[in-house]
Structure 1
């Protein structure tokens, strides 16, 4: 698939980004998210240059991503424990039925 350029608007500037057609919606959404975060940071710190706002927004988003990944790992671990307990109970029940039959 070819990557066609798409224009995204972030903090009062337009950027052309090469993007595969199937990734277009995700890129637009990511640009909106980044634009919103940078605007929020600019409200809090009017004097900060755009590159500093971009770095701060990227750090905030990366931190959130790491938190989500950690939460997912915890959820996966809990699910694996629950499945192990269920498998143990199922094995015990099946062994009990085998002894009866």
Structure 2
């Protein structure tokens, strides 16, 4: 049950940031600018283990080559990449808790 509510909250966060500042956005894809904003606003970027450059690199890595946006599935992959970097000394379960 907790897993489901976390997933729902994650989907909602994705949708809200995906449409931020764009009245024509559908909420199904997120621009790099909004990805960076999400990472800043949610405290992912700490300036030490995760920087704005890291966030930009991960965005470029997970999106399709010709795309300018990421999907929700790519978003989850990007978060997992950043979690591995930020919590490299932790197990997968410990990364999720932090």
TM-score range, shorter chain: 0.3 to 0.5
Q: Which has the larger share of strand?
A: 1
| TM-score (normalizing by structure 1) | 0.33
With CA pairs under 8 Å and 6+ residues apart, which has the higher RCO, 1 or 2? 2
| TM-score (normalizing by structure 2) | 0.34
Q: Which has the larger share of helix?
A: 1
